[in-house]
Chains A and B, each alone.
Chain A
Amino acid sequence: MENKDFYAGLKAGLSIAIGYFPVALTFGLLAKTAGLSIIEATAMSMFVYAGASQYIALSLIAASVHPLLIVTNTFIVNIRHFLMTASLSEKMVPEKRWVKAVYSFGITDETFSVLATSKKEKITTAYAFGVALIAYGSWVIFTTVGHIIGANLPLFLQAAMSIALYAMFVGLLVPSMKGNRKVVMLAGLAATIQSFFYFTGLLSTGWAILVSTLVASIAIEMVYVNHEKRTKSTYVREEGV
């Protein structure tokens, strides 16, 4: 049972691994041009494991920004994961704290999306490890490969593969949208708010995602709670509450 879940997790995580391939490869290449050694580049992917923050760090390193500022920036960019892991904790089976502490290292935007939109009622630890492991492996290995070979991937393929992660998000979202108005409204409202931040430049991407997600999730929940109250009110009155 445990093994079966682990392999199912690996399989579910395969699309993430494919999506990470070009991103990690490019990161390895850019790290090299920013002056990082192969060890330093690989270590960043191994220990930090956060795509956007790593890219930002490279540009800040190149601009000789103070390391403390780079760390602060990393925290700000990753604050949104508070929200995601809080949401995910509702779906995970109970487990020893230290085990959860281990696999929580593997929660990224992508692994979160795969786990959170899974059809399973509850997600087992083995499944989470499967998803996290294949994604992490791809990220670390292809960072190293990128540092070594870099731009040797044909340009048209590099361009085409830049869509991979977004295509994966679409592939995860659309099945849940079908016949579910609440999901359509959640995604639509969050995308609208995010677009507002994107085009006005009012917030940086990390904060914008956090705010869009939170506002949409709360607003839509309010609409649905009020709606349920209205439809239930007669029943409640009969009960004499």
Chain B
Amino acid sequence: MGAIYWWMLLGMALATYIPRMIPLTFLEGKELPPIVSGVLRNIPYAVLGALIFPAILFVQEGNLVFGIIGMVVAFLIAFLGGSVMSVVLGTIGVLAIYSLFT
């Protein structure tokens, strides 16, 4: 792979950076209509919903049970008040045991 790779990398870097940078850098101090800022405040929770489901079910290709166990365990630990770290490590732990015995 030669110089073309590095040009492509530069293009990819810009294509990733620009959508991240522009709103954060240039929206500050702009007074947005209440309905717009209301919608913007909703976005984190909607994004999480869309990122988690249904993708969590298919983390192991062809093994739906794996995904279902992972989802249930993660929700359970989080619902019982576990910290983010204990949700992550607890779910990995349960699935490691599951993968070891199947």
Contacts and interface: CB of A to CB of B under 8 A. Distances in A.
A95 B44 CA distance: 22
Given A79-B19, A169-B51, A160 B44 contact: no
Nearest to B102: A156
Q: Give the contact-size bracket for chain B.
A: 35 or more
Nearest to B13: A47
Interface string B52-82: 1111100110000010001100110111011
Interface stretch (A84-92, A138-146, A232-240): A84-92
Nearest to A175: B78
B16 to A, nearest CB: 5
A54 B7 CA distance: 15
B52 A166 contact: yes
A240 B102 CA distance: 70
A15 B78 CA distance: 14
Contacts, number: 288
Nearest to B61: A162
Interface residues of A, number: 98
A67 B41 CA distance: 37
Contact of B44 (A44, A57, A112, A168): A112
Given A94-B29, A187-B45, A209-B51, A171 B83 contact: yes
A38 to B, nearest CB: 12
Contacts of A101: 21, 24-25
Contacts of A82: 19, 22-23
B47 A113 contact: yes
B48 A117 contact: yes
Contacts of A116: 43-44, 47
B54 A194 contact: yes
A225 B38 contact: yes
A178 B81 CA distance: 10
A163 B92 contact: yes
A51 to B, nearest CB: 11
B24 A107 contact: yes
A109 B41 contact: no
Given A84-B43, A86-B27, A90-B40, A35 B20 contact: no
A78 interface: yes
21 contacts: A15-B85, A15-B88, A36-B1, A44-B9, A71-B12, A80-B47, A84-B43, A84-B47, A157-B99, A163-B56, A163-B59, A166-B70, A168-B87, A173-B78, A186-B45, A186-B46, A187-B46, A190-B50, A195-B53, A209-B50, A217-B43
Interface of B: 1, 4-13, 15-29, 32, 35, 37-56, 59-60, 66, 70-71, 74-75, 77-79, 81-93, 95-96, 98-100
Rank and list the top 5 A-B pairs by shortest CB-CB distance, nearest first: A187-B49, A171-B87, A71-B11, A116-B44, A174-B78
